[in-house]
């Protein structure tokens, strides 16, 4: 073990904060550099709030090109490609499509599944060890289907890509409603549901905050309002140039989400991680003590979206839009989520949407093959932990543990080659 290094982590989202925590626990001196004023101001701020090894499959499934082509000009399509984003996506997009063959999709799903299961299996211990309170719920998730053929294919898919730690139960409409009475109003329209009891949920921003606080208590230093501008390196990392001056470092971990590629370009590396925009609406009903209408998060696979209870609040999150780094809120995309809420909770939707509703958009850092990039690349001492796409919370702690093992040259629980940034030819 190479304990006692000075390590700088760039980015204080889910991935940066878990990385900093695990590296500090491994005996290093860790500083987190974050351009915003607090943790979780990027993609980790108001996400779907689920930890879902059950959704480990990358979004570039076979035939995804058809769905993307079809979306052109349809502002309400759940998976939407904006024509103006096409030039910036050329290299990444070809790789994205190249990874959508049946064989590569299968391999990449298996890689994500192993990492997601490894990650979520450690959450209980982490929660207890640091007394983390973030509204953790362990009732699993429900994936609902209105169409019998889609239900069959969903069940087949989850059995094909099985993992010993990812239990799945196929439920009839009646069994679904018995498990989640909040779905009673739509029982008649359900073909069935898949229940994944091992999935978890909670408030991802709160998790990042409380884990950040635990890391700070253990000695991690956070520098907010400080942007990393350049990695200073020859054959070895020397320092990080920031808006607050140069900071010497033995190692640097780039965990800057969808901005990671921009920082790495300065040392001649082209990380194929692109932003894929998603939305959420968080509804806080006003003036009522009524219990939340759902207890278990409900996923609508066809809409790439989910409804998650977060204490008194209900969050509807999802849909995917290829539109570069644009964070504007587009009304048709917000309407998609309102429609989903009405389709899942018809009796409660109007009340929820009439309360205090916070609309939000975030950029998922999506790697070209749908598997995150974790490990060394470029000059000695440079590491990446980025590109977790729609699974950043699901994979955060497992990715951080893998990263810490790689930094210390310890045997890892997962095969490092599966996640190495060097699997892309750009890396030296």
Q: Which is nearer to ligand FAD, 317 or 349 (CB)?
A: 317
Which residue number, 65 or 360, has a Cβ lying nearer to ligand FAD? 360
User: What would the two tokens of residue 79 be?
Assistant: 């998976």
Phi, psi of 285 (to 5 degrees): -65, 140
Minimum distance, C-beta of residue 297 to ligand FAD, in the bound complex (Å): 8
Least spacing, CB of residue 408 vs ligand FAD, in Å: 22
Return residues touching ligand FAD (CB under 6 A).
Answer: 10-16, 33-36, 41-44, 47-51, 227-228, 255-257, 259, 263, 278-280, 317-318, 362, 364-365, 386, 388-394
Q: Which is nearer to ligand FAD, 50 or 357 (CB)?
A: 50
- How far apart are CB 164 and ligand FAD at their closest, in Å? 21
Q: At what angle do helices 204-217 and 14-25 cross, to 10 degrees?
A: 30
Residue with tokens 């003590």: 289
Tell me whether residue 222 or residue 424 sits nearer to ligand FAD (CB atom).
222
Nearer to ligand FAD, 16 or 173 (CB): 16
Cα(257)–Cα(367) distance, integer angstroms: 10
Cβ at position 210, least distance to ligand FAD in Å? 15
For the bound state, the minimum distance from the C-beta of residue 393 to ligand FAD, rounded and expressed in Å, comes to 3
Instruction: Please give, one letter per residue, the 3-state secondary structure of the chain.
Output: CCCCCEEEEECCCHHHHHHHHHHHHCCCEEEEECCCCCCCCCCCCCCCCEECHHHCCCCCCCCHHHHHHHHCCCCCCCEEECHHHCHHHHHHHHHHHHCCCHHHHHHHHHHHHHHHHHHHHCHHHHHHHHCCCCCCECCCEEEEECCHHHHHHHHHHHHHCCECCECCEEECHHHHHHHCHHHHHHHHHCCEEEEECCCEECCHHHHHHHHHHHHHHCCCEEECCCCEEEEEECCEEEEEEECCEEEECCEEEECCHHHHHHHHHCCCCCCCEEEEEEEEEEEECCCCCCCCCCCCCEEEHHHCEEEEEECCEEEEEEEEEECCCCCCCCHHHHHHHHHHHHHHCCCCHHHHHHCEEEEEEEEEEEECCCCCEEEECCCECEEEEECEHHHHHHHHHHHHHHHHHHHCCCCCCCCHHHCCHHHCCCCC
Q: Which is nearer to ligand FAD, 100 or 259 (CB)?
A: 259
- Closest approach of ligand FAD to the CB of residue 50, in Å: 4
As measured in angstroms, the least distance from the Cβ of 287 to ligand FAD is 28
Least distance to ligand FAD from the beta carbon of 341, Å?
Answer: 14
Closest CB to ligand FAD among residues 182, 392? 392
Q: Based on CB atoms, which residue is closest to ligand FAD, 54 or 173? A: 54
Position of minimal CB gap to ligand FAD: 392
The minimum distance between CB 137 and ligand FAD, in angstroms, equals 12
How far apart are CB 196 and ligand FAD at their closest, in Å? 13
Task: Give the nearer residue to ligand FAD in terms of CB position, either 49 or 272.
Answer: 49
CB of 36 or CB of 216, closer to ligand FAD: 36
């Amino acid at each position: 073990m190479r304990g006692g290094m000075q390590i700088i982590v760039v980015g204080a989202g889910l991935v940066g904060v878990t990385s900093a925590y695990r590296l500090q626990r491994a005996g290093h001196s860790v500083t987190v550099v974050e351009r915003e004023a607090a943790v979780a101001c990027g993609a980790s701020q108001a996400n779907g709030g689920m930890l879902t090894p059950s959704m480990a499959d990358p979004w570039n499934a076979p035939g995804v090109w058809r769905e993307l082509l079809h979306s052109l000009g349809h502002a309400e399509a759940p998976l939407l490609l904006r024509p103006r984003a096409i030039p910036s996506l050329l290299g990444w997009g070809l790789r994205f499509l190249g990874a959508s063959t049946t064989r590569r999709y299968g391999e990449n799903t298996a890689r994500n599944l192993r990492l997601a299961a490894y990650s979520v299996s450690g959450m209980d211990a982490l929660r207890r060890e640091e007394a983390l309170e973030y509204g953790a719920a362990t009732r699993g998730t429900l994936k609902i289907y209105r169409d019998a053929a889609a239900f069959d294919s969903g069940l087949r898919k989850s059995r094909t890509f099985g993992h010993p730690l990812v239990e799945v139960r196929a439920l009839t409409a009646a069994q679904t409603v018995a498990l989640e009475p909040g779905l009673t109003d739509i029982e008649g329209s359900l073909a069935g549901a898949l229940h994944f009891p091992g999935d978890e949920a909670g408030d991802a921003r709160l998790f990042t905050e409380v884990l950040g606080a635990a890391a700070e208590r253990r000695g991690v230093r956070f520098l907010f309002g400080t942007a990393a501008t350049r990695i200073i390196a020859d054959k070895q990392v020397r320092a990080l140039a920031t808006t607050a001056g140069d900071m010497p470092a033995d190692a640097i971990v780039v965990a800057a989400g969808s901005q990671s590629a921009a920082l790495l370009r300065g040392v001649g590396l082209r990380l194929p991680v692109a932003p894929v925009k998603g939305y959420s609406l968080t509804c806080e009903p006003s003036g009522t003590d009524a219990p939340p209408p759902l207890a278990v998060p409900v996923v609508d696979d066809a809409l790439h979206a989910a409804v998650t209870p977060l204490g008194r609040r209900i969050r509807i999150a999802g849909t995917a839009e290829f539109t570069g780094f644009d964070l504007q809120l587009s009304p048709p995309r917000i309407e998609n989520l309102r429609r989903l809420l009405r389709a899942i909770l018809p009796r409660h939707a109007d009340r929820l949407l009439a309360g205090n509703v916070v609309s939000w958009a975030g950029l998922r850092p999506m790697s070209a093959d749908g598997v995150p990039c974790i490990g060394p690349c470029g000059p000695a001492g440079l590491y990446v932990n980025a590109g977790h796409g729609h699974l950043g919370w699901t994979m955060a702690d497992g990715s951080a543990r893998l990263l810490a093992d790689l930094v210390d040259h310890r045997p890892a629980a997962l095969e490092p080659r599966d996640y190495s940034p060097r699997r892309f030819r750009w890396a030296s």
